[in-house]
C-alpha cells in the first residue's frame, strides 16, 4: 500500500492509499478515515463501515461531502471508501458514458469480454479490500456496509449474498431493483450478457426471497429525487421485504433530492445504526 495523502480530521486521520489489485488486475485507490482511537501513540483496532459510492464517483466524494468524520470520530468507527470501478485500462468503450465502464462498476463480477478480467468490483469489495485493510491498518474484522445509489445497490447485494460477513446494512437512494431499470439493464447486459437469468443474483429485490440472513435494512430516500421513479424503485424492494418478512425501514424524506446534501443530512443516523450493530454504542 502506497500512502498518497493524509489529513487530520476531528483528531483522527483521513488517508488515501494506492495498491495493486490482483482481483482487478490494475492499480486501485481507496480512502480510509481512522478515528482518534485508532491513531496516535496507543492505537487500537476499530470496526469499519465500508461505504460504496454511486455512478461517476471516486473514493473522494463521500469523504469530502458527506460530513461523516465527526460522528465516526465520536463512535470510534473507521470508514473505508473504495473507488467505483477500475480506472485507465484503455478498454474499448470504457469512457464513453457515465453509466457504464469507468465510474460504473456496479459492484458485480463481469463475465463478458473485455470486462471480465477487470470489472470484478464485487470480489474486490467483499474479499480483497477487507483482507488488505484488516492486515495493514488498525481495523478489526467487524464490518458493516452502506452506500448511495449504485453503491446502495452494492451494499444491499453484498449483505444479502454474504450472511455473517456484515453486522448491518443501510443505503441512501439505492438502485433497488436494477433488472427493471435502465441503469441496471444497461450495465448488466454489458457486463453479464443477454441472459437475464444471470442478472438475478445481482438484484437486491430478487435476492430477498432466498436470503439466508435477515439483517434489518435501513433506507433513506428523498421524494424530490429525480431518479426515484425511473431508476430506483424502492417500493419493489419494500414489497419483497413485506412478502417475505424481511425487516426494512424505508424512510421517505419530503423535498430531498439525490445529492450529497441529502446524504449529509442523515449520515449520522446511519452511522449510529451501524455503531449499534457493531457494539460501539
Specify whether 258 is catalytic. yes
3-state SS record for the chain: CEEEEEEEECCEEEEEEEEEECCCCEEEEEEEEECHHHCCCCCCCEEEEEEECCCCCCCHHHHHHCCCHHHHHHHCCEEEEECCCCCCCCCCCCCCECCEECCECCCCECCCCCCCCCCEHHHHHHHHHHHHHHHHCCEEEEEEEEEECHHHHHHHHHHHCCCCCCCCEEEECCCCCHHHCHHHHHHHHHHHCCCHHHHHHHCHHHHHHHCCCCCCEEEEEECCCCCHHHHHCHHHHHHHHHHCCCCEEEEEECCCCCCHHHHHHHHHHHHHHHHHHCCCC
For β-strands 26-34 and 2-9, DSSP reports them as unpaired
- Lowest-confidence range among 37-41, 50-54, 247-251, 258-262? 37-41
Round to whole Å and give the CA distance between 61 and 147.
Answer: 12
Number of domains in the chain: 1
Work out the average pLDDT over 176-184: 98
Band (23; pLDDT cuts 50, 70, 90)? very high
Residues 207-220: what's their mean pLDDT?
96
pTM here?
Answer: 0.96
Work out the average pLDDT over 98-116. 97
146 classed as catalytic: no
Name the catalytic one among 148, 168, 225, 274: 225
- Output the CA–CA distances (angstroms, integers) from residue 260 to 64, 98, 102, 196, in the order listed: 10, 18, 21, 32
Instruction: Place 195 in a pLDDT band, splitting at 50, 70 and 90.
Output: very high
Reply yes or no on whether 225 is catalytic.
yes
Of 21, 144, 146, 149, the active-site residue reads: 149
pLDDT at 103: 97
Q: Which of 258, 270, 273, 274 is catalytic?
A: 258
Question: Is 281 a residue whose pLDDT tops 80?
Answer: no
For all residues of the chain together, what is the average pLDDT? Answer: 97
Range of the domain at 235: 2-278
113's grid cell: 469480454
| Mean predicted confidence (pLDDT) in 21-30 | 98
Amino acid at each position: 500500500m502506497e500512502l498518497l495523502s493524509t489529513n487530520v480530521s476531528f483528531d483522527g486521520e483521513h488517508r488515501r492509499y494506492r495498491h495493486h489489485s490482483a482481483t482487478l488486475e490494475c492499480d486501485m485507490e481507496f480512502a480510509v478515515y481512522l478515528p482518534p482511537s485508532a491513531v496516535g501513540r496507543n492505537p487500537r483496532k476499530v470496526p469499519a463501515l465500508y461505504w460504496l459510492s454511486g455512478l461517476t464517483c471516486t473514493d473522494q466524494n463521500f469523504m469530502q461531502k458527506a460530513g461523516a468524520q465527526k460522528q465516526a470520530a465520536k463512535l470510534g468507527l473507521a470508514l473505508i471508501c473504495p473507488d467505483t470501478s477500475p480506472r485507465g485500462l484503455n478498454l474499448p468503450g470504457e469512457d464513453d458514458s457515465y453509466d457504464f465502464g469507468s465510474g460504473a462498476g456496479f459492484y458485480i463480477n463481469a463475465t463478458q469480454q473485455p470486462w471480465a478480467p477487470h470489472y470484478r468490483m464485487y470480489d474486490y469489495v467483499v474479499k480483497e479490500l477487507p483482507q488488505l485493510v484488516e492486515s495493514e491498518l488498525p481495523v478489526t474484522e467487524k464490518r458493516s456496509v452502506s452506500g448511495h445509489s449504485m453503491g446502495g445497490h452494492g451494499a444491499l447485494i453484498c449483505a444479502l449474498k454474504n450472511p455473517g460477513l456484515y453486522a448491518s446494512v443501510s443505503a441512501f437512494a439505492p438502485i433497488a431493483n436494477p433488472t427493471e431499470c435502465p441503469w441496471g439493464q444497461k450495465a448488466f447486459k454489458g457486463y453479464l450478457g443477454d441472459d437475464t437469468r444471470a442478472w438475478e443474483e445481482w438484484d437486491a429485490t430478487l435476492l430477498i426471497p432466498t436470503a439466508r440472513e435477515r439483517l434489518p435494512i435501513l433506507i433513506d430516500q428523498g421524494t424530490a429525487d429525480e431518479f426515484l421513479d425511473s431508476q430506483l424503485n424502492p417500493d419493489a424492494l419494500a414489497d419483497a421485504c413485506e412478502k417475505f418478512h424481511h425487516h426494512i425501514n424505508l424512510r421517505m424524506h419530503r423535498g430531498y433530492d439525490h445529492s450529497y446534501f441529502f446524504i449529509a443530512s442523515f449520515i449520522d443516523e446511519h452511522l449510529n445504526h451501524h455503531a449499534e450493530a457493531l457494539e460501539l454504542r
